[in-house]
Structure 1
């Protein structure tokens, strides 16, 4: 993922305009403990797993001890959080038998990536053995890691609004100007022409393909790409989307927008998609195809109608902000094919 203020400026969310704490020079601190406590409970209580063995769900956050805070010094945000969490879960087998168990997350802290967080799943005392514990250790743990990653992302986006503000001349990071200058260089490649819907002008276009493998199921990967809170999680920026046919979406603070044209759960997503900087009314057609590889999912992105000269930036943006973002946020890392 790009560091704060780095990368193609069209993928960067614009900073909020304000005159407070000009140049971000003063040390500011914000206590995030109460907000974090409520957010963690909300995310954990939303966890539910369905499988051939039955269903499991988190029924209680029985222990949540720790603290969280954010510091801003000279425009740099420093995050601190440390939590000891215990959860209770209930499972119901296909035959209707109920089981109870526990989940321990002994050290959720800023020192560990979500994929490295230790998750211990066990049965409650005197409960008989059941295959549902395997379901919780696999799918349940995956969803818990997603919830952990989402909490961290929301802590770094939702809760930090207003902590990094523009400098006296209205620019938060001098690096952004430097990047914009570099971004002016085009790398033209000829392909097809396409008419902008609103402008009525034909522009040369091309096709972009990316294929990558994720260490998760098609069901989970499809879920990550179609739930607003999870999209906000891996893009680390505000997003709005309605994952239905004809539903609109805006990502990365409005720098990316479009419409869902076709959704086939766990198999395919088709959408119209555009950069804010593209010619007015021009959209590319994006098709995401999910292929189950037995414990892994191959995701292929095909973009048709990308403006000529934008193919490299489009490919790099998808790789960095979608593919790599999902891997790093939810721990689905695998080598690029």
Structure 2
């Protein structure tokens, strides 16, 4: 092997732009949440639509909850986003100066849904014939524009935000390697290496499939517990209770952005949002998963007359771990919570 600095052209790591991540093999991830909020706000405001019945304008983002990220693995970009968006709109009927207002809700704007699959619900602040007419204007003229804006967001996420995530390979470095000293050397000529797609900038970009997803699955479970929702909520947000039923070491900081570990570090993640006694959203991963890959877990606590119904949704589970994850929720979480705290039937 040639020593560092001897100039043997077969050893070019110090000259590669991607020396820290050769051929983009390792997982890298970039948080796109802040960028996405700014982009969606730009796209979803100052939208004016109308017809012969009246004119409407979407003028403000009332609420936007969720997250987005872009990841690079083996020179492929993977995009994750999930948003719950509420917009404010206003309008006037033809030959009328009275301004009416309403709300637009898009609760499932995510990478799992195509543009035409996103739910867009239009409501008015008053139940009058005039407001219902304007609502129909917004539905017929506004929804197609909003779907176009959603498509603009996904395109921008994949092209604008992800720029620079694919590191240039040696072939993309325009500085030629000085081989004059090598030719004078007594070392044998390097054996030619067959070109691959990663050796050519043009070939690499041509073969790059923006938006390729990891093969993942979505898990949905429901379970009833004989307790109030507040008590069940504490089982997931107080470390002593969590360690009691899992019978393993855990750490947690139950606030938005707070980190957690469970089962002696085999599960880790971050709380995205918490609604006391009602809902928990968290980024969640097994230790064995590819570095940087998280699923999104939502726990919804529904208080009923005689029990609490827990609705669990987990998105982004690698296909190979789907059954292990489903089984783990039932045995390590649901059954042990019931057995430890008396919130259901005994395990035996």
Shorter-chain TM-score: which interval? Answer: 0.3 to 0.5
Query: Per residue, is there more helix in 1 or in 2?
Result: 2
**Structure ranking higher on relative contact order (CA contacts 8 Å, 6+ apart):** 1
Q: Greater Rg, structure 1 or structure 2? A: 2
